[in-house]
Amino acid sequence: MAGFIEQRFGILRPFAWLDRLGALVARELTPSARKIRIALRISMIVTIAIGLDASCHVNTQLGAVIVWILAGAGPMMSIRKALAWQIAVMLALITAVVTARAFAETPWLMLPFVFVWISFSTYVGATRKLGAGVLVIQVVCLIIFYGVVFSPGEIGWNAAASFAGSVIAFGVIVLFDNWLWPDPGEPILMKSLGASVARARSQLLWASNFFLAGESVPRPPLPAPTSDLPAHMALLDQALAEGASEHRRAMLLAAITRAARIRLEHDGPRRNSKSGRGDRRCARRDLPQPSGAHCYRRGRASSRHADACTPGDGQSGRTRD
């Protein structure tokens, strides 16, 4: 595929990367069945959780925020993990109420404390890959620290409402992730790998037709500026968090690596090529030439190919013009 796609980055197309960016944005924004299904699932989860908050008279808007944080992020949540996070939220609320009372009269000390606490929790959550639960703890703690400054008499009610909202949010998420509408990461990863390989195949066929047919086939587009590898690795982490075994992890990682190598082998020559449509002879010279032994075997197998190879020293063979 090397050397047959023209890339005019000069005067004719000074902003060729805009075409690639536009194609990428169009592909990402194209509606699909999966995107519609994810949007419907998240909307249903949030609607039910907000309705439960209103029915239980949870006087806080934080419940909806917590549901939005948990609904579309991270792996499927088990009952054990939900209970662990709920206990962590309870302990964080207790600590936030005590420390907010202690720093209520000295806000100049509260700001450094909040800065250190948010920075430390963010670092721990990122290094340990704790997911969206850390963000929930940060949000409820910030609400307590904010409320103690402007409404110190409501700090207890705010903490109770935040706890109730988190209970409803975790409960609804557990119901949907385990029974009502589960959406595990491993099937999503397999479908994404299949779509990536199918896209590479269609682009390869298009490029081959362009190389062989010439002017009758339009020039294939430039490769996308981004790769599917980060998304595949994120789905792999999600599958591992949902309980995939080490053997299954090795198989999925091998499939991801193979798909990434296919994309690199397919897009690399097209991205690095500088020759145009008229330099097809140079492109053919860039293609790997058959060895003499290979030509000899082909000549013995079929007399039609005997004249196509010149006997050599076994190092390289050349095609007669």
Task: Give the residue with greater pLDDT, 301 vs 72.
Answer: 72
Give me 17's structure tokens: 């990367």
Please report the pLDDT score of residue 217 as a whole number.
Answer: 77
Please report the pLDDT score of residue 228 as a whole number.
Answer: 87
Rounded to an integer, what distance in angstroms lies between the CA atom of residue 298 and that of residue 309?
Answer: 9
Q: Does the pLDDT of residue 321 top 50, yes or no?
A: no
Q: At how many degrees (to 10) do helices 185-213 and 229-241 cross?
A: 160
Rounded to an integer, what distance in angstroms lies between the CA atom of residue 306 and that of residue 296?
Answer: 8
Lowest mean pLDDT segment, chosen from 55-69, 187-201, 215-229, 239-253 = 215-229
Q: How many CB atoms lie within 10 A of CB 163?
A: 20
For residue 292, how far is the Cα from the chain centroid? Answer: 46
pLDDT digits (tens, 9 = 90+) for 260-273: 998 888 776 555 44
Longest dimension (CA), the chain: 97
Rounded to an integer, what distance in angstroms lies between the CA atom of residue 148 and that of residue 142?
Answer: 10
Helix/strand/coil percent split, the chain, to 5: 75, 0, 25
Q: Is the pTM of this model over 0.75?
A: no
Average pLDDT rounded to a whole number, residues 231-236: 91
pLDDT band at 289; cut points 50, 70, 90: very low
Residue 15 sits at the vertex; the CA angle it makes with 9 and 17, to the nearest 5 degrees, is 85
Q: Which run of H or of E encompasses 229?
A: helix 229-241
> Which of 254, 220, 224 shows the shortest CA–CA distance to 236?
254
- Give backbone dihedrals phi and psi of 319, rounded to 5 degrees, phi first: -90, 135
- Answer positive or negative: Cα dihedral of 270, 275, 278, 281: negative
Give me 15's structure tokens: 């902003």
For the chain, percent of residues with pLDDT exceeding 90: 36
pLDDT band at 243; cut points 50, 70, 90: confident
pLDDT band at 51; cut points 50, 70, 90: very high
Q: Does the pLDDT of residue 50 top 60, yes or no?
A: yes
Rounded to an integer, what distance in angstroms lies between the CA atom of residue 4 and that of residue 277?
Answer: 6
Where on the phi/psi map is residue 131: left (φ > 0), alpha (ψ -120 to 50), or beta? left
Cα–Cα distances (Å) from 287 to 162, 268, 283, 284, 301, in that order, read 65, 14, 7, 5, 23
Cα–Cα distances (Å) from 83 to 51, 71, 291, in that order, read 22, 16, 66
**3-class SS of residue 138:** helix
Highest mean pLDDT among 22-26, 152-156, 273-277, 279-283: 152-156
Please report the pLDDT score of residue 221 as a whole number.
Answer: 74
In sequence order, what DSSP letters do the residues of 112-137 get, joined into one string? Answer: HHHHHHHHHHHHHHHHHT-THHHHHH
Rounded to an integer, what distance in angstroms lies between the CA atom of residue 65 and that of residue 281?
Answer: 62
